[in-house]
Amino acid sequence: MAELNTDWLAQVRWDAQGLVPAIAQEAGTGDVLMLAWMNREALAQTAATGQAVYYSRSRGRLWYKGEESGHVQLVHEIRLDCDQDVVLLKVTQTGHEPGIACHTGRHSCFFSLLRDGEWQAVDPVLKDPSSIYK
């Protein structure tokens, strides 16, 4: 099997820790689902497999989206911003309808709205997180 060309990885502006922020956007709706981090290996594996792989800063290792929850992100496009320091993944979120991207059991991690000087949760929990994560 031929090895995938990874020269394109050198064009990404990695931070001092070798990471780049990655935004996951739902391809069908345009909803911003989450922000995570990627290192070179995560981005290369995402491109090679078509499934989102991130770098978990808290765990200090690669994090295969859906490895515990089953809520996998199928990647349709990988884009790089004009400064080459942010990656945008256009994805289909799987595992529930509508897809659950957030560990709180919500569709998107961006469920808090600043209203009247307070953060208010405005999107429903679609599935109890205790039933998702064992």
Give pLDDT, residue 2.
44
Answer whether residue 52 is part of any domain.
yes
Range of the domain at 56: 17-99
Count: domains in the chain: 1
HSE-up (13 A, CA, CB side) for residue 112: 9
As a whole number of angstroms, the distance between CA 1 and CA 10 comes to 23
* Residue entry with tokens 């989206």: 65
Global confidence as pTM:
0.87
Give pLDDT, residue 95.
76
Answer whether residue 8 is part of any domain.
no
Identify which of 74, 81, 122, 62 has the alpha carbon closest to the alpha carbon of residue 101.
Answer: 74
Answer whether residue 125 is part of any domain.
no
Give pLDDT, residue 4.
61
Answer whether residue 105 is part of any domain.
no
Q: From the centroid of its chain, how far is CA 49?
A: 14
Answer whether residue 21 is part of any domain.
yes
Answer whether residue 24 is part of any domain.
yes
Give pLDDT, residue 70.
86
Burial class from Cβ neighbours inside 10 Å (0-12, 13-18, 19+) for residue 31 reads middle
Answer whether residue 121 is part of any domain.
no
Answer whether residue 47 is part of any domain.
yes
| Dihedral class, residue 99 (left if φ above 0, else alpha if ψ from -120 to 50, else beta) | beta
pLDDT tens for the chain, 134 residues long, are 345 677 899 999 999 999 999 999 999 999 999 999 999 999 999 999 999 999 999 999 999 998 888 889 999 999 999 999 999 999 999 977 778 888 898 989 889 999 999 999 999 999 888 888 76
Tell me the CATH number at 90: 3.10.20.810
Give pLDDT, residue 131.
83
As a whole number of angstroms, the distance between CA 50 and CA 116 comes to 41
* Residue entry with tokens 């009247």: 116
Q: Are the beta carbons of 23 and 88 closer than 8 angstroms?
A: yes
